[in-house]
């Protein structure tokens, strides 16, 4: 069996260590650049002079930058302040010549030095004298910072009075009352629903549809604000304001509201050339299972989570929400890159059905159900359900499935509140021909394939580029 034995020190290492000990005993250190300890000086520490009181006998310590006098002191800490009898200390930056009340002992914190002593080189806090109060006030609305210690060593933490003074200064100018507080959020992207891969024939058809483009001769002229919004310069309303302000020109002339553009026109926005994008391919459609506590908005002043923070990012276009859902409502929410398809599904004139699952505290009577189907008066007009079905329940909770053909603000909740029933849960399960998949979890999304998108466009009566089929 192989045994191990301790390694003996190499002769070269032993000789090097012996030479280092000899050099240290002679008062030569690395920081002095080979100079004797009595002639040392440091550009970083103004406490050291060019000359120090030395003696013929060198120090027996092993530290660096240690001016030596006659008798050592037993201290081993850093920044030790000594009398005319410094120590064979192992620390650094020992100041010599200043009187002290007692020798520094132990390896703890540095001994206190008199106020007249110069600052010794400590840590990061020993950079200079204490700053005046006006210097902290000039920093603005910030939390009071640690003050440098003029004696070196650890910095002084701000006191409770300093925090109170900063809070009072902030309150004096209205911080927290007039200033809007933005909550910075970290939102994770929604996960994609896992699906099995289709057959070889389906994949080939999807690839052909993905690469299919509409001929340029089939792309008609578009309104200028619509073309700019589709390119990604902003909303249609913002583009209308820009056109009214005279910021947009077409073929060298200032454009007016209602102007149309076609392929080959020279469009400029604020003097810069605009490369317009045209709907010449299949749009993208996403089914998202919205969670409660998410806003259907692109920006929220309070910094709450929005559904657009959760969707996958787009490079050349933007997502258009098909309808909206309340903050406390969950369920199916559709997004597309085609404004024509979104308008086709949202406009009340097309009467696209929206189905909701509703849980209420209490139970509807048959007379109330008949009245809801016939129509009830709300603040903004008459509202009625296209259908209403009982779906069971336990105790005080009862479920109903209702169908609407319009999408007014909080319409389902207001109709149940008309009879004194409180809706405790509201889920949208269907929008038009698209139903919320049972495998689609909350907070996940499913992007329709090219074949599914083609079926939706045919159901809406639109071509690939979003134009009507009869155009």
Query: What pLDDT score does 286 carry?
Result: 95
- Give 388's strand partners: 402
Distance between CA 178 and CA 171 in Å, rounded? 10
Query: What pLDDT score does 58 carry?
Result: 46
Active site residues: 326
> Which H or E run includes 322?
strand 320-322
All residue ranges of the chain with pLDDT < 50 are 30-131, 133, 135-141, 173-184
Query: What pLDDT score does 267 carry?
Result: 92
Query: What pLDDT score does 160 carry?
Result: 63
What the chain holds in terms of domains, given with CATH numbers, is 219-274 (3.10.290.10), 285-460 (3.30.2350.10)
pLDDT digits (tens, 9 = 90+) for 173-217: 444 443 334 444 577 888 999 888 888 888 899 888 888 887 777
- CA angle 121/127/133 to nearest 5° reads 145
DSSP 336-364: ES-HHHHHHHH-GGG---EEEEEEEES--
Query: What pLDDT score does 372 carry?
Result: 94
Distance between CA 104 and CA 344 in Å, rounded? 86
419's CB contacts (< 8 A; 6+ apart) are: 364, 368
The answer to whether 93 touches 104, Cβ cutoff 8 Å, is no
> pTM score > 0.75 for this model?
no
Nearest to 314 by CA among 343, 285, 289, 294: 285
Nearest to 125 by CA among 158, 153, 157, 144: 153
Distance between CA 386 and CA 428 in Å, rounded? 15
């Amino acid at each position: 069996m192989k045994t191990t034995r301790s390694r003996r020190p190499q002769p070269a290492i032993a000789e090097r260590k012996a030479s280092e000990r000899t050099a240290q005993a002679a008062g030569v250190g690395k920081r002095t650049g080979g100079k004797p300890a009595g002639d040392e000086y440091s550009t970083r520490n103004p406490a050291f002079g060019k000359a120090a009181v030395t003696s013929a006998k060198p120090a027996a310590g092993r530290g660096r930058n240690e001016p030596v006098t006659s008798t050592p002191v037993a201290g081993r800490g850093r920044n030790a302040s000594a009398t005319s009898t410094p120590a064979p200390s192992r620390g650094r930056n020992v100041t010599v010549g200043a009187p002290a009340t007692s020798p520094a002992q132990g390896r703890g914190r540095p001994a206190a030095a008199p106020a007249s002593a110069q600052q010794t080189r400590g840590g990061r806090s020993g950079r200079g004298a204490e700053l005046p109060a006006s210097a902290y006030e000039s920093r603005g609305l910030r939390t009071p910072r640690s003050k440098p210690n003029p004696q070196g060593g650890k910095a002084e933490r701000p006191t409770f009075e300093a925090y109170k003074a900063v809070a009072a200064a902030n309150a004096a100018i209205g911080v927290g009352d007039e200033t809007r507080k933005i909550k910075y959020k970290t939102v994770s992207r929604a996960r994609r629903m896992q699906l099995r891969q289709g057959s070889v024939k389906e994949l080939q058809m999807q690839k052909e549809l993905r690469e299919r483009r509409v001929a340029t001769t089939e792309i008609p002229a578009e309104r200028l604000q619509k073309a700019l919004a589709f390119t990604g310069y902003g909303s249609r309303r913002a583009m209308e304001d820009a056109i009214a302000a005279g910021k947009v020109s077409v073929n060298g002339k200032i454009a007016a509201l209602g102007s149309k553009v076609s392929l080959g026109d020279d469009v400029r926005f604020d003097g810069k050339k605009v490369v317009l994008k045209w709907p010449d391919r299949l749009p993208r459609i996403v089914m998202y299972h919205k969670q409660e506590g998410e806003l259907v908005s692109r920006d929220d002043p309070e910094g709450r989570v929005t559904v657009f923070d959760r969707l996958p990012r787009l490079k050349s276009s933007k997502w258009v929400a098909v309808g909206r859902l309340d903050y406390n409502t969950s369920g199916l929410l559709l997004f597309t890159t085609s404004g024509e398809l979104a308008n086709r599904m949202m406009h009340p004139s097309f009467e696209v059905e929206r189905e909701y699952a509703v849980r209420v505290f209490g139970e509807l009577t048959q007379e109330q159900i008949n009245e809801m189907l016939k129509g009830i008066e709300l603040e903004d007009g008459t509202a009625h359900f296209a259908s209403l079905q009982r779906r069971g329940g336990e105790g005080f909770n009862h479920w109903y499935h209702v169908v609407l053909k319009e999408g007014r603000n909080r319409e389902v909740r207001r109709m149940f509140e008309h009879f004194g029933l409180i809706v405790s849960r509201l889920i949208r399960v269907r929008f038009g021909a698209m139903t919320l998949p049972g495998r689609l979890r909350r907070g996940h999304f499913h992007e329709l394939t090219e074949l599914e998108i083609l079926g939706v466009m045919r159901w809406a009566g639109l071509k690939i580029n979003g134009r009507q089929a009869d155009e």
